[in-house]
A and B are shown apart, each in its own frame.
Chain A
């Protein structure tokens, strides 16, 4: 399998003007919907580490195609936000299918290591501010350049989440409450922006000086930029370090300061809270989608079965945020 893939990558790079050899091709653990490989590409005068991201080629309501993901990252790069350098893009059935190659960004993406390893202690100090800056840059791009990105107005997105939740016929009073509560909130205070959609540890490459790159753009959309802010601040993405509101490593104040240093937008923590409720609920519905893909027999797996009992984690976070002064 990997030998065949090695040849395919060499052929594809040759077609894109780079003649050389692929070696050390290894699969990396990644998302369920895509494969990720790392390899070394050696040409006449240099040798570099690269990443292959490859999707199934099927259109999914949750994720954009890999080829689209690559184009979006290329365009975002001009905003100054740290994103990987795209080397080549493959689409359709030819070449590598729906896939792209990018330069490997040295660093760590595993949340627990970033939060606990000593070598990241200086990075952790700056990371909340840097994440705020990066998000503000992403949110600043000119939307005219992003026609192909799906538009997801937040009211429609909430409706879609509600229908998804309802389709599983597993009534959850806390979810009903949160949906109803969100219906009453005002979402009109922000202009549409490019939204990463899954901005959190796991999708950020971190090196010893902090944020090196924002990766995994498959949930990108055009919508309310507060979605990214709230998502980064939910307890589900603090990996047990719940006293640090931003990703388990930083304070909300630094994160928002980083954001406004670029965007000049002032964000009230009370507004963030609304989006923490929304983000927690969104993660809860994603957990339901995963467990029902197991229960309905599409993808049988222990991990997917187990995630069903993590829905109550989102429920306890919701009641904490809504009634008990949770942050």
Chain B
């Protein structure tokens, strides 16, 4: 990598904190609400930047338990094999894979979501 610090995640975090601490408080309600959405979006980007390598690698390992062909072990194939009936709905390995991959997605998108918090307890 040729880029210096701050990393992209660190830059995004700086903007997010600026909006939160210096901008949001000065705005009327409806704009403060929109600014909160902007902050949430930046925080998604930050979490994704920080965790995507690990989460992608772990997801690949899960996919390989179901789709043995290394090249075809991706989300598209998983969706397709469920749709075509190649993977059985009763298959516990499939169910486990869907649970684990979804947890990884939501850990980036919204780790405060009630169902996620309940499931990682």
Interface residues of A in 284-327 (CB under 8 A from B): 302-303, 305-306, 309-310, 312-313, 315-317, 319-320, 322-324, 326
In the complex, A184 Cα to B79 Cα: how many Å? 18
- B98 contact from A29, A171, A309, A319, Cβ within 8 A: A319
What's the Cα separation between A319 and B118 when bound, in Å?
13
**B102–A315 contact, CB under 8 A?**
yes
For residue B33, give the distance in angstroms from its CB to the closest CB of chain A: 9
Q: Helix, strand, loop or mixed for chain A's interface?
A: helix
Interface presence of B101 (CB below 8 A) = yes
Give the residue name and chain of the B residue nearest to A238 (CB).
B114
Q: Contacts A302-B34, A320-B119, A323-B95 known; A177 to B82 CB distance under 8 Å?
A: yes
Among A177, A312, A317, the most chain B Cβ lie within 10 Å of the Cβ of: A312
Q: Are A181 and B89 in contact (CB under 8 A)?
A: yes
> A316 with B41: in contact, given A173-B101, A180-B83, A326-B115 (CB under 8 Å)?
no
Please pick, from B75, B82, B103, the residue contacting A316 in the complex, using a CB distance under 8 A: B103
List the A residue with the shortest CB-CB distance to B105: A312
Contact between A324 and B119, CB atoms less than 8 A apart: yes
From the candidates B40, B78, B85, B110, name the one contacting A173 in the complex (CB within 8 A). B78
B76 CB-CB contact with A under 8 Å: yes
Q: Which residue of B lies closest to A305 (CB)?
A: B41
For the complex of A and B, the 4 pairs showing the least CB-CB separation, nearest first, are A171-B79, A242-B114, A176-B82, A312-B105
A71 at the interface (CB under 8 A from B): no
Asked if B15 CB lies within 8 Å of chain A CBs, one says no
A303 / chain B contacts, CB cutoff of 8 Å: 34, 37
CA distance A209 to B48 in the complex (A): 45
- Residue in A177, A179, A324, A326 with the greatest tally of chain B CB atoms within 10 Å: A177
Taken together as a complex, chains A and B put the C-alpha atoms of A171 and B75 apart, in Å, by 7
Interface residue? A235 (CB, 8 A): yes
In the assembled complex, how far is the CB of residue A297 from the closest CB belonging to chain B, in whole angstroms? 18
* C-alpha spacing A175/B79, complex, angstroms: 8
Contacts of B85 in A (CB 8 A): 180
C-beta contact mask, B100-121 vs A, less than 8 Å → 1, else 0? 0111011001100111101100
> Which residues of B approach A to under 8 Å, CB–CB?
30, 34, 37-38, 40-41, 44, 75-76, 78-80, 82-83, 85, 89, 94-95, 98-99, 101-103, 105-106, 109-110, 113-116, 118-119
Q: Tell me if A324 and B99 are in contact (CB < 8 A).
A: yes
- In the assembled complex, which residues on chain A have CB atoms less than 8 Å from the CB atom of B41? 302, 305-306, 309
Q: Judge whether A240 is part of the interface by a CB distance below 8 angstroms.
A: yes
Smallest CB separation, A296 vs chain B (Å): 19
Q: Once bound together, how far apart are the Cα atoms of A94 and B31, in whole Å?
A: 35
B106 and A316 contacting across the interface, CB-CB below 8 Å: yes
How far does the alpha carbon of A251 sit from the alpha carbon of B32 in the complex, in Å?
34
* 9 A-B pairs (CB sep. < 8 Å): A171-B76, A177-B89, A312-B102, A316-B103, A316-B113, A316-B116, A319-B95, A319-B98, A320-B119
Closest chain B residue to A323, Cβ basis = B95
Complex: how many Å from CA A190 to CA B115? Answer: 30
* Chain A residues within 8 Å of B105, by CB: 312, 315-316
- Whether A34 sits at the interface, judged by CB under 8 Å, is no
Query: Complex Cα distance A171/B77, Å?
Result: 9
Complex alpha-carbon distance, A198 and B110, angstroms: 24
A326 partner residues in chain B, CB cutoff 8 A: 115
CB of B55 to closest CB in A, whole Å: 12
Pair A173/B75 contact, Cβ less than 8 Å: yes
Whether A172 is near chain B, meaning CB under 8 Å from some CB there, is: yes
Q: Is the beta-carbon distance between B110 and A309 smaller than 8 angstroms?
A: yes
